[in-house]
Amino acid sequence: MEATAVTEKAPPGGPAPAILEAAGVSKIFGGLVAVDGVGFTIPERSIVSIIGPNGAGKTTFFNMLTGLYRPTFGTIAFHGRDITRRRPDQIVSMGMARTFQNIRLFATMTAVENVLVGLHSRTSAGIFRSILRPPSQRREERESHEKARETLRYVGLREEHFDEISINLSYGDQRRLEVARALASDPKLLLLDEPTAGMNPAESARLTDFMRKLRDERGITILLIEHDMKVVMGVSERITVLDHGEKIAEGSPEKVRNDPRVIEAYLGKQS
Ligand SMILES: Nc1ncnc2c1ncn2[C@@H]1O[C@H](COP(=O)(O)OP(=O)(O)OP(=O)(O)O)[C@@H](O)[C@H]1O
Ligand SMILES: [Mg+2]
């Protein structure tokens, strides 16, 4: 596929242009085909989800989009630019950020410090500057701190937890902090890998509202991997279903919910 095609403006009233386009993407680990020729497009400013049983290849697919794994086959374009062989840090600075299925915070750093790491990922000199601290950088550093605190406020972490060591935060707050760190890099596309895992229904509902707010207020496009069907069906404009690495269905929540192949993938074949 011609990479420039995705940047073309859609006609008025037509479909939104794609922010991300994956074509024929596969990942093979030894003899295991974890992701099998998946084509996938995300319209700008949409909220879309990937679902599928355990081991379906969802996280592996995320890892390829974000540059952690290199696809065995296929291409990935972001904002119309080929990113198939880009490094994760390059992809972050192009405007894609993610959270992880298993929380990956810097456990011994405070909440604010974790967000500062996300901020610095945008400016490569940042980390060195913050270690050397020449006086001319103090003001910039204060501004970074203020931006980190503002981001933490935005994701709903309580002020009293801002300077807490992250490992001491509740599970829900650690999830929130991960989102804050991802947001600090000012992404246009945010990938969330099971963000409600371990949350109670009230927390999950709050996070669902927050995803809509991110899209509506900041224009951020969201790609979600999620097992909680209430969250998925409630928030997604479109759902893609993977099973054994293959895309077996795609469409509106209504369409996917009633698709016999999807029901079979989740319930197992009735013989
Ligand atoms: N680094 C790796 N090396 C070898 N095999 C891997 C690797 N990562 C994933 N796999 C395998 O690829 C398949 C897909 O795994 P993946 O983690 O992408 O599934 P998933 O859909 O995210 O599942 P879950 O819902 O349990 O998170 C699994 O069989 C897994 O064991
Ligand atoms: Mg996974």
Domain boundaries defined on the chain: 1-89+192-271, 96-186
Which fold is adopted by the domain 1-89+192-271?
A: Rossmann fold (3.40.50)
d(CA 53, CA 63): 17
For 93, counting Cβ atoms within 10 Å of its Cβ (0-12 exposed, 13-18 middle, 19+ buried), the class is: middle
Atom of ligand 1 nearest to the CA of 245: 14
Q: Considering just the CA atoms, what is the radius of gyration of the chain in Å?
A: 19
Residue 1 pLDDT > 70, yes or no? no
| 262 CA → ligand 1 middle, Å | 19
Q: Whose CA is nearest to atom 28 of ligand 1?
A: 55
| Percent of the chain clearing pLDDT 90 (strictly above) | 74
* Terminal CA-CA length for the chain: 41
Q: Which residue(s) pair with 43 in the sheet?
A: 18
Give the pLDDT confidence of 47-92 residue by residue, as tens digits.
Answer: 999 999 999 999 999 999 999 999 999 999 999 999 999 999 999 9
- pLDDT (0 to 100) of residue 128: 58
Coil/strand/helix, residue 250: strand
- pLDDT (0 to 100) of residue 102: 86
Token pair for 28: 């093979």
- pLDDT (0 to 100) of residue 126: 55
| 89 CA → ligand 1 middle, Å | 22
Q: Assign domain 96-186 to its CATH architecture.
A: 3-Layer(aba) Sandwich (3.40)
| Ligand closest to CA 51 | 1
| 219 CA → ligand 2 middle, Å | 26
| Ligand closest to CA 242 | 1
Q: Which residue(s) pair with 21 in the sheet?
A: 41, 77
- pLDDT (0 to 100) of residue 8: 47
Q: Whose CA is nearest to atom 16 of ligand 1?
A: 57
Mean pLDDT of the chain: 89
| 127 CA → ligand 2 middle, Å | 30
State the CB neighbour count (10 A cutoff) for residue 233. Answer: 17
- pLDDT (0 to 100) of residue 165: 96
